[in-house]
């Protein structure tokens, strides 16, 4: 299930545990991260870095990707999180 990140962090604070957040560099990583968090029955916070977004947007030199490539990559990441997180039984935030 897709949730705001605040819900995951408030639960971690209430129950006194640390919650990791993981950079995603590909659609395959998004799927794998959601699946492993499901196996562990653990919430997932998935994030994209500027360079990762450029890579997902098709930039060959992702460290110097254009704003258009970064925007395209951010959409690819968001769509992947929606695809794999929406029907998941665990809380998933982007």
pLDDT in tens, 37-79: 999 999 999 999 988 899 899 998 888 899 999 999 999 999 9
- Overall domain count for the chain: 1
Instruction: Name the pTM for this structure.
Output: 0.89
Return d(Cα 56, Cα 62) in angstroms, integer: 9
Burial of 50 (0-12, 13-18, 19+ CB in 10 A): middle
DSSP 38-51: HHTT--EEEE--HH
Q: What is the mean pLDDT of the chain?
A: 95
- Decide if pLDDT at 82 tops 90: yes
Rounded Cα distance between 50 and 56, Å, is 10
Report the percent of the chain where pLDDT is more than 70.
Answer: 100
| Domain with 83 in it | 5-93
């Amino acid at each position: 299930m897709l949730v705001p990140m605040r819900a995951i962090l408030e639960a971690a604070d209430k129950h006194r545990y640390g919650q990791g957040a993981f950079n995603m560099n590909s659609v395959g990583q998004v799927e794998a991260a959601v699946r492993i968090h499901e196996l562990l029955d653990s919430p997932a916070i998935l994030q994209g870095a500027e360079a990762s977004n450029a890579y997902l947007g098709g930039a060959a030199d992702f460290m110097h990707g254009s704003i258009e490539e970064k925007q395209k990559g951010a959409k690819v990441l968001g769509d992947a999180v929606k695809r794999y997180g929406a029907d998941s039984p665990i809380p998933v935030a982007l």
